[in-house]
Each structure stands twice: as structure tokens, then as C-alpha cells.
Structure 1
């Protein structure tokens, strides 16, 4: 972290204290006018200065940002300022603010923002409310928004919420990848292999290139060519084929090739037996992913996208509502969504039209299996002359993951024996072992 980073945060806090103090003094009649002075940051690399520049923040927007950020930097920031001007204490509802569950200081609300930026001026208070409305880019890009309140309570009494990643960026200068949790039921996946290591059917590979073309040219298509008025944002793809044929690996490689992070969604953690909980889980997931340019990979998608049921009871009704909600969020997502299933027939035909591309991942042919065997075995393992990959590939039908399992087993056995070599007999024994594991023979 650079010296400028911490220095600029302190300068911003000092500036905010001056702004809040000016409003309090004007409110208490100690000053004639409220004024917001200029913010002067020091030079050098700083996440705060970069954020201001990249987002082109106005004065009021920056004030909102700092109001929400201040408790993360100084727990008693607001309490200390109020105590200096109201030493005898007492209730101060004009200032807004609430207490948190663990945080013992004042957490600013929309009312706090209205008081500091507008005082008692109704027109200006409404302008601040507009800054915190769902139409403002702060909310739309999930940077800063108001916490929902109970029915009947003023909207502006909700807390100012700053996205946790923005907090991390502004305080630590970096953003870590979200961790798997109940609030974020997805895991980051990556691979060290390259496209040259992957063996796919030629037609499958050609369709994959179509996805890369979309990623490369989508912004031009929507903005420069004006197609954003006619088509929905984002791209939706369905991968189908037997297990072990490269669906997950392909999704990961698309991310690696295009510089985008890939997250695999665990639908078993998303779907809940309690009414309404599935939608809440999905909302948290998509809200987190929005505007991040992530690739979302839904594995075993047929667990939620299977054949819709006739509505016989309340459970069927809400199950269909869950699917409808997920489809709505997927279609509104402005990035790439990939759904994977073992059987295309498991996906309801009504959902098929929602995908821009449907890609089949068949079991590898004998020629492709031969190539897989050659690419998978490490060069350090000495192969006996009696191993003929073409014959092995023709005799044994294995997927890419099955071949990898055999290779893994053979390599470990060779290391354990200390011989570092493999002959046809031991290879075939390892293949039969994999056949038993897959249930092909007993």
C-alpha cells in the first residue's frame, strides 16, 4: 500500500469532518452559511483518487461515498463530531443514523445524508433522495444504496450501504475474490491448462469460438451499432453432454482466454425448500455478480431447469415461480451465463429458446481418445513399446476425465514402485479399474 493511499483517506476524512461540522454549526446558528470546501488530495497512486476519477464523482456523490465509508475507517467518527457540538448530549433526530448489531458507533442513513447536504431545504433534500433512488447509477451499479426499511417507515431512514468490495478497494487498495458462503453459493474456478491441451469435437470447438466472438465484440454491437435497443444484454449458453466431456473445463478456459473470472454456482445451495428463500439466494448471487463481468457457470442445471410440473399444489406453484425468477435474472444479466446438463432432454423445451447457443459435448471418438491419451500422460513416465495408443483408444471408450483418472493412477503407481515406467498390462489393469469405478463392469 502506497503512502498516498493512507494519506488520501485521512485527507478525505478530515474534509468530511469539516463538511459535517459546517452543517452542524449552521444548524445550531453558530455559522451563517453552510459551505463545502474543495477536496485536495496528495499526488501518487491511490485507490480513492482513482475511484473518483474513473467514476467522475460529483461533490454530492463523493460526500455520500465518504459518509458510508467513514464508519469503516473510524468507528466513532460521527459520534465524536456530534459530542463536540452537543456536549450535554440529548436526542438529535435531524441527524438520522442508527446503531448496528455489533458496531457501537453511529451508522449513517439517508436522513444523515439529507441533513448534511441539504439541512432543512426541502427542495435540496428531495435532490439528495434522488441521488439515493434506484434510478441513480450508484444503486444500479450496486456501489452505494439505501437499506430497505419496514413498511410504513420513511425510506430515507434506511442505512447507507456501501458494497463490501468497494470498501475493500478504498481501504486496502485491492479486492479479494468472494468466498463461498450461504450468501454467495459460488466458487471461483480456474485452470492451468491451455486450449491446446483440450481435445474437443471440431463442431463443439467451432461453437465455443462463437462465444469468444460475442465477448470480444459485444460492446461494439450494443453501443456503436445500436443493437442495445433491440436485444437483451448478456449471452446465454447451454452445454450438454455426458459427465467428463469437458463442459466445466471449457467454461474455465473461456474465462482464461478472455480475462474474465469464472464462478461455478452450486444450485444445491441455492434451492431451498422454504418458500421465497430460493429467490432471495438468487437475488444475492446476481446482485453480487452484476457489473463484474464474471462468467456464471451453473452446473447440473437440470436440478432447477428440468421439466416444469403441472400445478397440483402450492409446492409445484412455487417451484415454477423459482424457475421463472431465475430465468428473469439470467436474461437480465449483462455477462455470460453457461448452464450445463448431462442430457438436453432434461431441460424443458420452453427454456431452450432463451439460449443464444446450445453446444453438444459428445463422448470423444477413437481418434480424439488417442489424442487425449497422448496429451495426458506426463513425459517423465516411460512407456513400454507394447503400448499402442490407437489400439487402446479403439478398445476402451473413456471420456477425458476417465483418461485423466487412469493417468493419475498409473503415474502414482510408477512413482510408488520407483520404476518410472508403464507397460500395456499395467495400463489395461488401470483402465479396467476405471471401468469398475464407472459401473461399466462388475
Structure 2
């Protein structure tokens, strides 16, 4: 199966095994024969297959693997499921026990019932034995390899691959777009790493509390002795001036936690129509909790200002929207990060809603020196008149602004035919960038 340009032979073999298992199960069932053992699974080769590596690391047994293959088939090779579409000639309708779902908006896809039939052979005892693979504590559900099951009749719900499985297999870039249509959230990644992020010691110390929750919080919550003290979710506040690393840190936290980060567009979540905001948020948070996503509310300043005095009906409704958003943030069982450019003006009552508060401060001279040296890391680019340490002392700027200066200098260098970057080039770019914020650059010494 081709996922991102190369074939995953382990996944190909698994889907071929699924096809053989479906054929064997249906043949025995339609002949009214007792369920027989399914064909053995292919031997995994983790070294040569992302799918096999995923199955091994997740500790999947053959039953788990067959269910995951069934869920992936709906995304990747739906034709493998065609044998389930046979009609019952006695009543001229599909076999209910096969559990296939046929909807105009999503097409044909397997359900939880399909998985129970495939593993259990359609017998009550077999169905009960197969259901253990789909309990909340089972590997498939606990590790978000399957989308969650909710409601009183989970057997009727679609069987879908979860965020973790799609992400590990490289299907996320094109599959996620369809899965989150209308959710006012966009996948947020970065090619950078923690070594590229420069923070003050105070910011890094505050992040340690978040790392502790990522590493140990979920396990402590599952422990009956600590469940009441350690909540299922974690609410995090990033606050500080623009350009100090809030967005990059959110993306890097997703890398560290091994979970996808989705940036939320508040303008799409909040609706002027009564009831629509609640509906949009319910859809967004339900999907995030179910799939194990990290939600990142960027530029959420509107949530942290003081409430408007409810003079008009619009004021009352705006206050209700803010209250409902914060309520859903508190109820989330996942990791939710809210970022604001506000600082000490944040209402104290709002601050108390967050378990972790991370201040993002303007970089000091040492941090600025590190930022300049990491941006202009190739000495061959720079003329001998450039003193990065002096620039760090002279210009109190952020990492984002330094990145913009680098971009402008590189473009200017390319336009000049590859000459070195001089101090005058950097200072001209600095002056232009500072002017955007209404700041006059200091004169050169």
C-alpha cells in the first residue's frame, strides 16, 4: 500500500491477510458451518515496515491486528470489504450481522459489528470473546489506534482508524483533512526541533510542569488512588508578547507527546447564531478527546479580557460564548493549550482555570545572542564586519523578528548573486521589521 511515496510491504501483507480472513469467515458462515480458525497472520518485519513496527510497539495480538486492518481498509482499499455487501436472498436485504454501513455522505464502511463478526464468526460466544479487543483499556483504544466508541450501541458505530495509526503510517496529511472538515481546526506541525527554540530559564522551568503531566498524568489518573487528585485533562496557558515562541512551543509539545496538534480558529468556532457556538465546540472537543489530539487556541486574547457589561443582547450572548468555551476547555480529557499576547492584565479568575501557566518573556542579551547565532549559523554567509554578539546587545528583539531579518537578508543576498551579508544589510532589515511595530531602530555605535 502506498502511503507517502513508498510502498509499505508489511501493510500490503496485512491487507491481503484481511481479505483472506473475510473470505474464510464468509464461506463458513454462508454454508452454515461452525466457525473455523482464520488464516494465520503474516510474520511482521518491523525493520522494513512502518505498519509492522507500529503493531509491534503497540503490543497488538492477531485479533487486534485484524481489527486495525479492517479499519484501515475503509480508508485505503474499500474494495476488500465488497464481499460483506452480499444480500440475504431470503429477505432481499444486506446481512444485518455483517454490520456494514452504507451512507450517502461517507460511502460504505465497516462498523464495530463487522469487526465482532469477523473475529467471532457470528456466534454469541465468539462475539463476547472478540469484544475484549475494543474495551477502553485494550491496546487499540488506549493508544488511539481506533477512533473512540461512544453511546449506548457502539456496535452500530463506524470502525475507523484513529489519529495515532494514521499519523504513524504517514496518511495524516491527506486523510486528516477529510476527517476534520468543518471542525474549525487545522493540523499544526513544525520541521524545527527543541534545539531551535530559545527560551528564558523561567519559561523552561514552567514547561517542566507540563512535561511532568505528559509523562505521568494519564497513568496517575487511571490509578484509583490518585484519579480524584489528577484530572484526565490538562489546561495550559501560554502568555507573553508576540514572537517569543508560543506557537513553536505548542508544535514541539506535540512532537514530544507523540500526538497531533490542531490549531483552533476562534473566528470559525464562535457563531453569531444562537446555539451554533455550542454545537461547533462540542464537535471540536469530542473529536479531539476521541482521537487524542492536542488543541491549540492561538491568539485567544478575546477569551481573557474582562467581560463586557451586558447592556445589549449581543453583549450577553458574547459573554455566554466565552463562558461556554472556557467550560468546554475545563471539561476536556485531553491537553488544551491557550495562547495570549496579554500578560499581567489577564483576569486572576481565568488564571486559576489553568493547571500550568507558562510565561513567554522577551529574550535577554544571552538568549538574543543564541538566537542570532542559530539564525546566521553559517559563517560563510557573513561579511567580516558583522558582529552577532553586538547585535544581540544593541537590539532588544524577539526570535520571530530575527527570523524575518534572516529571510530578508537571504533574499537580498540571492538577488545580488551570492555575495556575503554585511552589517548594513542586517541593520536595514532590522529597521524595516521594527518599523512594522512603530519602533525606530537605534543608531549604530
> Structure 1-normalised TM-score?
0.72
| 1:215 paired residue number | 214
Worse overlay, 224-233 or 313-322:
313-322
The verdict on how the C-alpha distance between 1:64 and 1:254 changes in structure 2, with shifts beyond 3 A counting, is closer
Cα deviation 1:327-355 (Å, max 9, x = unaligned): 44434545432211000356544332121
1:409-424 to 2 correspondence within 5 Å? 409-418=408-417, 420-424=419-423
Deviation at 1:237, TM superposition (A): 1.8
- What residue is the counterpart of 1:176 in the other structure? 172
Kindly indicate whether residue 337 of structure 2 is the aligned counterpart of residue 338 of structure 1: yes
Distance 1:210 1:327 in 2: 21
Counterpart for residue 188 of structure 1: 188
1:90 aligns with 2:92: yes
Structure 1 counterpart of 2:59, from 50, 54, 57: 54
The equivalences for 1:47-126 within 5 A come to 47=51, 54=59, 66=70, 72-74=78-80, 76-80=82-86, 82=87, 86=89, 90-91=92-93, 99-101=102-104
Contact 2:145 2:162 in 1 (8 A): no
Partner of 1:162: 160
| Equivalent position of 1:248 in the other structure | 247
* Aligned equivalents of 1:275, 1:147: Cα separation in 2: 26
Q: Deviations over 1:283-335 (max 9, x none)?
A: 44334433655443221122345434455666555545544444444345454
| Corresponding residue of 2:234 | 235
| Equivalent residues of 1:237, 1:358 under 8 A apart | yes
Secondary structure of the corresponding residue to residue 172 of structure 2:
coil
Secondary structure, aligned partner of 1:189 = coil
Aligned-partner SS, 2:59 = helix
1:255-303 Cα distance to aligned partner (Å, 9 max, x none): 4455554433332333333333334433443344336554432211223
Q: Is 2:37 the partner of 1:41?
A: no
CA distance in 2 between partners of 1:20 and 1:51 (Å) = 26
Shift of 1:240: 0.9
Tell me, in whole angstroms, the C-alpha distance in 2 between the residues paired with 1:249 and 1:267.
19
Closer/same/farther in 2, CA of residues 206 and 283 from structure 1, 3 Å limit: same
Q: Does 1:431 align with 2:433?
A: no
Pair 1:58–1:49, CA change in 2 (3 A)? farther
Q: Does 1:206 align with 2:202?
A: no
TM-score of the superposed pair, with normalisation by structure 2: 0.71
Alignment of 1:363 onto 2:380: no
Number of corresponding residues: 419
Distance 1:432 1:356, change over 3 A: same
Q: How much is the aligned-residue C-alpha RMSD, in angstroms?
A: 4.8
Counterpart-to-counterpart distance in 1, 2:214 and 2:372: 32
Structure-2 residue corresponding to 1:372 = 371
CA apart distance, 1:242: 1.2
1:265-284, aligned counterparts within 5 Å?
A: 265-284=264-283
**Is the Cα–Cα contact under 8 Å of residues 308 and 348 in structure 1 kept in the other structure?**
no
The residue matched to 1:54 in structure 2 has which SS? coil
Distance 1:419 1:97 in 2: 62
How far apart are 1:208 and its partner, in Å?
Answer: 2.0
| Larger CA deviation: 41-50 vs 296-305 | 41-50
Which segments of 5 or more consecutive residues in structure 1 lack a partner in the other structure? 149-153
Which residue in the other structure is 1:151 paired with?
Answer: none
Superposed CA offset, 1:367-412 (max 9, x none): 5434433443342232444x55565445543222222222332333
How far does residue 433 in structure 1 lie from its aligned partner after superposition?
1.6
Of 244-253 and 12-21, deviating more is: 12-21
1:12 aligns with 2:21: no
Rounded to whole Å, the distance in 1 between the matches of 2:437 and 2:282 is 37
- Is the 2:238–2:358 contact (alpha carbons within 8 Å) kept by the matching residues of 1? yes
How far apart are the structure 2 equivalents of 1:168 and 1:394? 46
- Partner residue of 2:4? none
Aligned to 2:3: none
Partner of 1:143: 146
Question: Residues of 2 paired with 1:348 and 1:401: CA distance?
Answer: 27
